[in-house]
Structures are given as structure tokens and as C-alpha cells.
Structure 1
């Protein structure tokens, strides 16, 4: 049974995408179904997760600061997500899609990006297994937390999609304590 959370704000005070959480959750992860939403995104290729996040964040921050066709300022939201489509092997390039959630007031008519590498993305509803962790996240922490989430899903015999997967960050780099980060693994549609 799903229970509508209907939340728009987390402790950061920033607007967040709405989701429905399953009432029954595991001790070390939760199951969320994110509603269909609009995001502003940019895609990069490379082998370094953190480098892709930094470049992608700068592009998207420029967009919300007015680098768009309307010269409109767009409120910062949370989380910043990074979808990872891993390459074929350990030394192969992966595709990273860094995204900011568009505030609801811009869903009907999002400002058109000026940067050709930035685009508005309409995300369909998705269900994810979510593991939350604190601290200043980095590439190693993301990989470790992702591995812990996958081990928990295997332990519970849960069907999941191996790729793509997501990392999500909720806090400004200036926030020093009580930081919130997440890794998301998508639920296998056949396992629903």
C-alpha cells in the first residue's frame, strides 16, 4: 500500500520533487515513486563522477541565474541528481546526466536554455530504492553507498535495474553539518 507524502520541502527549505513512499520500508533503504516532473539537465561523458558533477552543476547554475532565453532567474531546488549510465568496462567512459528539479511554477512553460548543452527534461514517473547518507559526498562514498544499497536489495531478494543509477545531493557546499545525500537504484518493472 502506498501512502502519499505530498511533501514539497525538506529541511533545506528548497522545493523538492513530490514522491509517494511505500509504508513498508527496509531498515537501510526506502522505496519512493517520484511523480512525473520537469528537470533542467546537461549530459557529459567521462570517467570521473565528481568532475562531471562539477561541470554539470556550473552549466545548470548559469541557467537558473538567467542564462536562458527569457533571462529569467529560477529558484534553486533540491536535490541535484546525477544519472549514471556506466560504460562497458572500468576504464570506459560513462555518461553522466546532471539535473536540477524545475520549480512547479516553471513546469507549464520552462525558460528555454541558451546553452546548447542544457535541455529541459520531462521525467516520467519512476520508482527507486533510496539509500540516504550524510557528510560531504565524493566519488568513493557514492560508489560505496551504491554497493551497500545493492547488497541490501540482493539480501532482500528485490528485483532492481542495474543501470542507470542515480546520486542525489540536497545541500549547499556551505552547509557543514547534517548533510543529506542519496543513491537511487531503479525498481525493476517486472518486480512490481
Structure 2
């Protein structure tokens, strides 16, 4: 990786063909907001044809604020509009899938232990965070990217959501924990790749990441320092040659809202150049 881990880096050619990541709804949330809510009892967004009422924006904001407090994160009131936009557009538009080529898959008794994938060169919007806790960094970084996606960019338009949201992480000097410095990244949708809108937030930087190969394993639940270190150890044990991958830099791919309790995630190891 370059620029303090923001880029994925690999010495491979771009994929000739691509496979698409299977998506879970970004807004999959586990709390039931009530039968008249935009969310059903499983926490997933239900299709609606009517526009949101004025009170719905406040309800969505209050929900985010309540959940975020559990992660010691404050959601400011100016997030109400981005939250509403992302929720509204998520009901009517298919989210952009980050394309990849599946190179191989290791299975045991019908269970996928890990996949080897090739990702092509692409542009990402990146924001570096360094909060006290990992969960604070990913939540605050994601909110910055939400503002960029929802009109706070040079075009003043909604850009469209893509997943997974990636977070690059680093082991600390002792290799027993994670460094506080992380980078949260959003894949620029394909129709904007040639000329990405510029962020109004100076802390968000558009980066072009070269092609790379990753080894990835899916896991569910919360993403905190303890769970991530556990998943790093599990994947290292499963790989035939873990020394072929970077040993101090990894990626957490998130497919669900960082505020959700039951998240769908992946841990990625990056193949050395």
C-alpha cells in the first residue's frame, strides 16, 4: 500500500472479466423501529413508493444517534439530510457493486473458508481517521463519505452508493493490537470513474488504486479491535502461504451500516508485490 495504507497495491494485470459481489442491504439494521417505520422487524429497508414525510428525517436521525452513542460516537444534526438521501435512494436504485475476478476458492465440507480475488485499477474516495477507538474511526469516516456522496461535492449531486466500504488497518508496533490510524474508502461508481466529482471536504482525497490480489474471508457481527485481530489470526491459519501477504496492513470490507449490530464483513489480506 501507498500513502499510509490508503491504496491497494499489487503487481497484476486488470481483470478481463469480472464477478459481482453479492450484496446485503447497506441499511440493514437490527432494531425494530415500529410497524409504521421504513424498517421492518428484521431491520432491512422495505420498498416504499411514497416520499418520506418530514418527520421521517428526524426519526432516521434519532435512530442513528441512538445507535451511535453505543459506540461513543456523536451524530450531528447536519447528518439528517445525508442519512435521508442515502435511505431514500437505496430503496429505488441498485447500489454499485465493486467488480472483481474470482481466482480461486478454498472450501471444506461445503463451507467457503476463503476466496482469492483480483480487483482492477479504480478510483476511491479516501479519508484518514485517527480516533481513540476503531469503531469511532469507521463511523466518523463513513459519515464524512456520506456527505460527499450526498451532494457535498463539486457537482452538487447524489453520486450513488457503492459497497463494500473499505477500511485499511495496521497492526501496532507490538503486533498485538491495531494502530489508531485507519483509512476509510468509498468506491467511485463506474459512470464517474473517468472524472470523479471533487469533495468539498479537504480531508477526503480521491486516490487511484492499482490492480491487486486479495485473500478474503467473510465474518459477521461487530467490527472492533478484538474481533478484527481474531479474524486476522483465523485467516492466517487457513492460508497455505500467509507469508505471501502483507503482515502489517489489512482491509476490513463492510457491507452493512457501521451502526448495525449484525454486520456482514470480510477481512482482506493483500498479496505482496
TM normalised by structure 1 equals: 0.84
**Shift of the alpha carbon at 1:175?**
6.7
| Separation (CA, whole Å) in 1 of partners of 2:268 and 2:164 | 12
Confirm whether residue 62 of structure 1 aligns to residue 143 of structure 2.
Answer: no
2:252 is matched with which residue?
167
8 Å contact kept, 2:163–2:255 = yes
1:17 is matched with which residue?
98
| Structure 2: runs of 5+ lacking an equivalent | 1-14, 26-93
Aligned length: 185
Q: How does 1:97-112 map to 2 (within 5 A)?
A: 97-112=183-198
Report the CA distance shift for 1:35/1:183 in structure 2 as closer, same or farther (over 3 A).
same
| Separation (CA, whole Å) in 1 of partners of 2:211 and 2:17 | 14
2:20 is matched with which residue?
7
8 Å contact kept, 2:100–2:119 = yes
User: Who wins on radius of gyration, i.e. which is larger?
Assistant: 2
**Deviations for 1:148-174, whole angstroms, at most 9, x for unmatched residues?**
111222xx2342111211101102358
2:211 is matched with which residue?
125
1:50 is matched with which residue?
135
**Shift of the alpha carbon at 1:24?**
4.4
**Shift of the alpha carbon at 1:5?**
4.1
Report the CA distance shift for 1:29/1:157 in structure 2 as closer, same or farther (over 3 A).
same
Indicate the structure with greater helix content: 2
TM normalised by structure 2 equals: 0.61
**In structure 2, the residue corresponding to 1:114 is in which secondary structure?**
coil
Q: How does 1:146-157 map to 2 (within 5 A)?
A: 146-153=232-239, 156-157=240-241
| Structure 1: runs of 5+ lacking an equivalent | none
2:267 is matched with which residue?
183
8 Å contact kept, 1:80–1:101 = yes
**Shift of the alpha carbon at 1:145?**
1.1
**Deviations for 1:55-107, whole angstroms, at most 9, x for unmatched residues?**
11111111101111221211111001101133424688532010111110110
